[in-house]
Structure 1
Amino acid sequence: MTAALSVLEYHLVNYRRTWRSSALSTLVMPLLTMLGFGVGVGAYVSGGVAGVPYIDWIVPGLIASTALQAAVGEATWPVLSYFEWLKVYFAQAAAPLRVADILGGHLAFMLFRILLSAAAFLAIAAAFGTLHSWWAPLTLVVALLVGLATAAPTVAYAATITSDSYLIILMRFAVLPMSLFSGVFFPVESLPVVLRWLAYAFPLWHGVDLSRDAMLGLNPGCIGLVHVAYLLAWCAAGCWLAHYRFRRRLVI
């Protein structure tokens, strides 16, 4: 644990030097999204969704989607660069660090970045008056679950490839469909049956549903436990795959 914290400290020290480059986008993107989708598109959705104003209905999904985007952003090019171009992982492996320490420290930093992004979006949402439940802060916990469920398998994928061309494939055929068809912008019930079950398979849909219940003060019931268990399964499988791929590349 101490060694993994040292790896986390390494990433935090680097981030202390570069945080200004991402701070503006972390605040501006939620604001533009709220104005564009929540206010702009919401003006044309009369009656909202299931009796809920569109801006209130869409915000929980946007927070979960923000966690997804932050996770993918941290788990793709940075991981590939640490293997292929900067060789940071190999330098860390040459130190008295285990593979679990290297991976765990970097995943912890990713969760830190995901939490910052989700918290910034939640703060913007509060400024727009879309928080109607004391359970709303639980969306940050859901964001961490969605983030790890996304980041861990993405790290495993990035540790497998040798060119960033494969990351473009991931974005087009996995991240983009997941972002569009997971109930963020419209109910998945309006999709054809095949696409609906595809949405259910995505981890993001489960996070969106949990976030929406928390933001609107709804009781998720037993389905909430199913959502949590499904996201934890993605986290566990992703971490195992990432550790396996890291070990294959770092241990000679």
Structure 2
Amino acid sequence: MVPSPAARSFLAQRLTAHRHFWRSSALGSVLEPVLFLAAMGLTLGSLVDRGPGVPGGVGYLAFLAPGLLVAAAMQTATGESSYPVLGALKWDRLYDAVLATPARPVDVLTGHLLYVAFRVTTSAAAFLVVLVLFGAAASPLVVLALPVALLTGLAFAAPVTAMAARLEEDAAFAALQRFLIVPMFLFSGTFFPVTQLPVALEWFAYATPLWHGVALARDLALGAAEAGSALLHLGYLALWTVAGTWLAARALQRRLVR
């Protein structure tokens, strides 16, 4: 579906604003994951590789890098869909200003998600280049990890936007980070196989969008992707994206149309 002119105009506004703070945003969305990759993959990774290693005889750096790529996409998308959305609704009233034009709430949502897609794609592309330079890609299919990261980011951005559109205060974002985002980052297969977790936590990991994104990106980077499992992962991420977008559209319609 082609975005409406109003949605494209809102995206242009967000991109114009992004020009003024892209350097600081790059620190969090690109530089920090790269430093984390260097610290964990090259130092801790050397210790892991001297021991039993990860299953399949894969080097720890090659195991870790695709997971960090997708996890960074999750964090970027969540960050762009929490405080900025609540701020645009309550503090600086950006969305009210947009709706003073012929734009509709759905145009605001579409423009927002397009901007999140831009942020996730550019950040993930920069990380992907570093991943290849580090020698952490065993297959040319690693380039397909980029759309996987994008879809994973949208699978988080849409429901978090729906949550933000229903809030009056920002305290819930701290709980979101503490009880969902950080546990998923740690226990959804980014750093070690989830089969090493207790059974309850293992099934929790399988239920998260992050695990599906990490598993698919890793399979692509290692050249081990299979059509059946890839379609399952993509379908699950698409389900989160579609459901979250529907909820976000309803929440913004109720919040903005008085």
TM-score bracket for the superposition, by shorter chain length: over 0.9
The AA in structure 2 aligned to 1:203 is: P
Aligned to 1:171: 177
Give deviations 1:76-95, integer Å, cap 9, x for gaps.
11111101100001111121
Give deviations 1:17-37, integer Å, cap 9, x for gaps.
221222344442133112211
The AA in structure 1 aligned to 2:7 is: A
How many corresponding residue pairs? 252
1:12 and 2:15 matched:
yes
1:181 and 2:168 matched:
no
Aligned to 1:36: 39
Aligned to 1:194: 200
Aligned to 1:222: 228
The AA in structure 2 aligned to 1:12 is: L
Q: How does 1:4-83 map to 2 (within 5 A)?
A: 4-45=7-48, 46-50=51-55, 51-83=57-89
Given candidates 94, 111, 122, the residue that maps to 1:116 is 122
Could you tell me how far apart the structure 2 residues matched to 1:118 and 1:48 are? 27
The AA in structure 2 aligned to 1:171 is: Q
Asked if 1 retains the 8 angstrom alpha-carbon contact of 2:29 and 2:72, the reply is no
Could you tell me how far apart the structure 2 residues matched to 1:173 and 1:29 are? 21
TM-score w.r.t. structure 1 length? 0.97
Q: How does 1:226-245 map to 2 (within 5 A)?
A: 226-245=232-251
Output the aligned Cα RMSD: 1.1
Asked if 2 retains the 8 angstrom alpha-carbon contact of 1:114 and 1:144, the reply is yes
Structure 1 gaps of 5+ residues are none
Aligned to 1:205: 211
Farther-moved stretch of structure 1 (213-222 vs 187-196): 213-222
Given candidates 96, 99, 103, the residue that maps to 1:90 is 96
Could you tell me how far apart the structure 2 residues matched to 1:84 and 1:2 are? 25
Aligned to 1:126: 132
Could you tell me how far apart the structure 1 residues matched to 2:220 and 2:76 are? 21
The AA in structure 1 aligned to 2:25 is: S
Partner secondary structure for residue 192 of structure 2: coil
- CA distance 1:130–1:150, shift in 2 (3 Å): same
Could you tell me how far apart the structure 1 residues matched to 2:159 and 2:150 are? 14
Partner secondary structure for residue 17 of structure 1: coil
Give deviations 1:159-178, integer Å, cap 9, x for gaps.
11111111101111111111
Could you tell me how far apart the structure 1 residues matched to 2:26 and 2:185 are? 23
Farther-moved stretch of structure 1 (58-67 vs 23-32): 23-32
Asked if 2 retains the 8 angstrom alpha-carbon contact of 1:26 and 1:120, the reply is no
Could you tell me how far apart the structure 1 residues matched to 2:36 and 2:203 are? 27
Asked if 1 retains the 8 angstrom alpha-carbon contact of 2:29 and 2:76, the reply is no
Give deviations 1:87-112, integer Å, cap 9, x for gaps.
00111112100111111001100110
* Percentage of identical aligned residues: 46
